[in-house]
Amino acid sequence: MGQLRTHSGIRRGSAISANAMSTVAAMLLLSALSACAGQQVRPFSAGEAVWEDDDRHHVAEMPREYWSGLAWDAIDQIVFVPTNRFLRMDFAEAAENVNAFDEVPNSSWFENRLGLREMTHEELRRGACPEAVLRGDETWTIVAGKPNGANPGFIIRDEQGRGWVIKFDGRNFRDERATAADVFGSRVYHAAGYHSPCNIIVHFDREVLQIGEDAETEDERGEDIPMAEHHIDEIVSGAIRTEDGLYRASASLFVDGRPIGPWRYQGRRRDDPNDAVRHEDRRELRGSRLLAAWLNHFDAREQNTLSTWFETEDGRNYVRHYLIDFGDCLGSRWLQDGLSRRFGYSSYFDPAHVAADFLSLGFISRPWNDVEISRVAPMLGYFDAEHFDPRRWRAGYPNPAFARETPEDGAWMARIIARMDEDAIRVMLGEGRVINEEDEAELMRVLLARRQRILDHYLRVRSPLADFEVQEDGTTVCFADLATLSGVTDASVLRYETRYYDGRFRVPVWVRTENPGGAVPPEKLCVSLVEDGHRSFGGGEGADADSYVIVDLLLYPEPAMDPLGPARLHFYDNGEAGYQLVGIERPEDAVAPGRRRGAGD
């Protein structure tokens, strides 16, 4: 006993093989071989887990450009898609692109960053930006007016020939929330693993702007007309200015590749042979609902996505997928106050809420009736933590990927958000250049409080244990407890239980319970995989059925409470070479592997 040890540092992602497979790992079907004492459970092969998705093959012909109509998409998502799902009885099942370690492989959609490795403050600060960004003392050549969006702006080219979208804060509420949110949101999504643009805050003088040849903008009828100096004056007239008279704006660098329009949160592109997984069944798109809820990114819709025809250095072409435009985050308000106070709580048109209010004659208490404009930082509008419930958060109109989020998808994103600690958030928020220190302090408070509400729920939905690493001795596995490190559980009363199954019997060979003690949670915990000489019976090279081992690691958050669902680790016992971790599951409860919940012995 007493085999649980603590260490002072976490090496994240150490269970990942350096040589990632290029094809999707074949999941072996659950064996139905009967034994006198039970049923064999070997769902994972002894091969390497998949960490690179096979969706970046060269595609010879560029897919057609896609234009997304705002009105049609809204009607489609509010009426037709939900109706179709109901009639088809299309209920959410497990996400399709999850590897053997319960993670999402790198792909044209997603790249593991903070979820599996440490990120330096410099990486967090930079986001997707190159080392050299737009400067406010160089010449900006305007090539067009910004064609759409809530905030005014224009498109420029810098002295290096790079394209940037320049956006100013809205004129209705005279604060810097929109530009700060656009920059901060891009950093958060990038750190989480999504492809997002380089967004920065710029301060510049009117004199750096010059109109390029053939530059056009739109008139009030939506027709293209030549851009003139008075158009620039009109655009910058409502911009926030610094104490020394410079204009404040956000600048978004054009992403790599040729734009071919938005991508959809459902279905697949028929003209992209790499697009093999239905978008609504991608874990990174389902899980992004929780990230959107945290920031109140209610405008998470297909119009704020972008596909590009990307060319690699070796001449391959494939479609890359971006999330863009985060200016609605952190308390966006519209002139219609009754609508603004609903953001995050109800859709623009929510049939369920409308019907319930009608049948109850409006007597149902709604959170949007109680929210108030922040008195400490009015720029945050109705963005608060007191009324925030991440389980019930809603986008502006239904998002088909969000609607299919499972507890496993939410728990996956919560583990990523758990790694965005106060220091990381402060670093990323600093790039938003909030003007008033009191406003920034209040924004930090709200962000941390909303984050804690997410973690308090979702780190209990599935096991919060992560960062598993088999040590050099081959019989010890170390891990991090994200719930305790995040303050969700109390380290002083916490205890862990290890249950060892030999892969053949449905009852554990041995059970060990330990409490590391101490008020300060350890960053790393280790448990032995052997107990009184107990190992699997076969050994060998991991091919023998008897060499398969399952270890459940359970966390008891409080002495009188049942344990959370386990982190179920699958190993092959390779004899003297030690244990090989081949799979991780996070079941809902601690029912033994190979048994159905509620089944008898």
- Taking residues 189-206, what's their average pLDDT? 97
Percentage of the chain beyond pLDDT 90 is 65
User: Residue 144: which pLDDT band, with cuts at 50, 70 and 90?
Assistant: very high
By three-state DSSP, how is residue 189 classified? helix
Query: Would you state the pLDDT for residue 253?
Result: 98
Which residues make Cβ contacts (< 8 Å) with residue 463, sequence separation at least 6? 411, 553, 554, 555, 564, 565, 566, 567, 586
Identity of the amino acid at 57: H
Query: Is residue 473 within 8 Å of residue 561, measured between CB atoms?
Result: no
Q: CA 366 → CA 101, 335, 341, 353, 402, distances in Å?
A: 40, 21, 11, 10, 22
By three-state DSSP, how is residue 586 classified? coil
What span, in angstroms and rounded, lies between the C-alpha atoms of 57 and 60? 10
**pLDDT at residue 307 is higher than 50:** yes
Query: Would you state the pLDDT for residue 37?
Result: 36
User: Residue 4: which pLDDT band, with cuts at 50, 70 and 90?
Assistant: low
Model pLDDT for residues 118-129, shown as the tens digit of each residue: 999 999 999 999
Query: Would you state the pLDDT for residue 503?
Result: 67
Query: Would you state the pLDDT for residue 29?
Result: 32
What span, in angstroms and rounded, lies between the C-alpha atoms of 289 and 579? 37
User: Residue 433: which pLDDT band, with cuts at 50, 70 and 90?
Assistant: very high
More confident residue, 377 or 3: 377
Model pLDDT for residues 83-124, shown as the tens digit of each residue: 666 666 666 789 999 999 999 999 999 999 999 999 999 999
- Taking residues 370-385, what's their average pLDDT? 95
User: Residue 8: which pLDDT band, with cuts at 50, 70 and 90?
Assistant: very low
| Residue 168 in tokens | 């100013």
Sign of CA dihedral 7, 12, 15, 17: negative
Q: Average pLDDT over the chain, rounded to whole?
A: 86
Query: Is residue 321 within 8 Å of residue 431, measured between CB atoms?
Result: no
Query: Is residue 505 within 8 Å of residue 555, measured between CB atoms?
Result: no
| Residue 169 in tokens | 């804060």
- Taking residues 54-82, what's their average pLDDT? 81
What span, in angstroms and rounded, lies between the C-alpha atoms of 96 and 104? 10
Sign of CA dihedral 57, 59, 62, 65: negative
Query: Would you state the pLDDT for residue 353?
Result: 82
Query: Would you state the pLDDT for residue 598?
Result: 52
Containing H/E element for 428? helix 422-430
What span, in angstroms and rounded, lies between the C-alpha atoms of 532 and 95? 39
| DSSP labels, 245-267 | S-EEEEEEEPPSSEEEE---SSS
Using alpha carbons, select from 418, 396, 404 the residue that is nearest to residue 481.
418
**pLDDT at residue 34 is higher than 50:** no
User: Residue 484: which pLDDT band, with cuts at 50, 70 and 90?
Assistant: very high
**pLDDT at residue 70 is higher than 80:** no
Edge-to-edge strands, sheet with 153-157? 199-204, 247-253, 163-167, 153-157, 140-145, 209-218, 224-226
User: Residue 546: which pLDDT band, with cuts at 50, 70 and 90?
Assistant: low
Query: Is residue 484 within 8 Å of residue 494, measured between CB atoms?
Result: yes
User: Residue 64: which pLDDT band, with cuts at 50, 70 and 90?
Assistant: very high
Sign of CA dihedral 443, 444, 447, 453: negative
**pLDDT at residue 545 is higher than 60:** no
Query: Would you state the pLDDT for residue 53?
Result: 95
Domains of the chain are: 5-50+463-585 (2.60.40.10), 65-462 (no CATH)
What span, in angstroms and rounded, lies between the C-alpha atoms of 101 and 78? 35
User: Residue 287: which pLDDT band, with cuts at 50, 70 and 90?
Assistant: very high
**pLDDT at residue 568 is higher than 80:** yes
Query: Would you state the pLDDT for residue 522?
Result: 81
Q: CA 367 → CA 232, 244, 515, 591, distances in Å?
A: 42, 42, 41, 38
Query: Would you state the pLDDT for residue 357?
Result: 78
User: Residue 80: which pLDDT band, with cuts at 50, 70 and 90?
Assistant: low
Sign of CA dihedral 386, 349, 77, 334: negative
Identity of the amino acid at 335: L
**pLDDT at residue 397 is higher than 90:** no
Using alpha carbons, select from 543, 444, 431, 537 the residue that is nearest to residue 37.
537
User: Residue 30: which pLDDT band, with cuts at 50, 70 and 90?
Assistant: very low
Query: Would you state the pLDDT for residue 5?
Result: 53
What span, in angstroms and rounded, lies between the C-alpha atoms of 147 and 217? 7
Percentage of the chain beyond pLDDT 70 is 85
- Taking residues 274-281, what's their average pLDDT? 96
